[in-house]
């Protein structure tokens, strides 16, 4: 564990490593993964909330135009006020 963390440049506390090893004692990796996966699934999670809006200076997609993005940005700013 220490070698992996050190290789990644991650700081750790020996006490925490000792706790992890004590809790893993007698368990197989696939058991721990399955148990952890179940806990994450219970949280709902699912990750990303969707794509980020394009930056204001981003070039429009093929076809030109670009005025629509500016109008939409103005509408959003007005709604926030």
pTM of the model: 0.38
Residue by residue, DSSP assigns 68-80 as HHHHHHHHHHHHH
- End-to-end Cα, the chain, rounded Å: 51
Q: Higher pLDDT residue, 69 or 24? A: 24
Q: How far apart are CA 58 and CA 70, in angstroms?
A: 11
Q: What is the pLDDT of residues 2-41, one digit of tens each?
A: 899 999 999 999 999 999 889 888 989 888 888 888 777 7
């Amino acid at each position: 564990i220490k070698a992996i963390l050190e290789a990644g440049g991650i700081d750790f506390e020996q006490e925490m490593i000792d706790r992890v090893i004590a809790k893993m004692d007698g368990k197989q990796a696939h058991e721990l993964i399955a148990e952890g996966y179940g806990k994450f699934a219970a949280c709902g999670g699912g990750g990303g909330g969707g794509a980020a809006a394009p930056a204001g200076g981003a070039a429009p997609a093929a076809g030109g135009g670009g005025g629509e993005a500016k109008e939409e940005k103005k509408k959003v700013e007005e709604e926030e006020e």
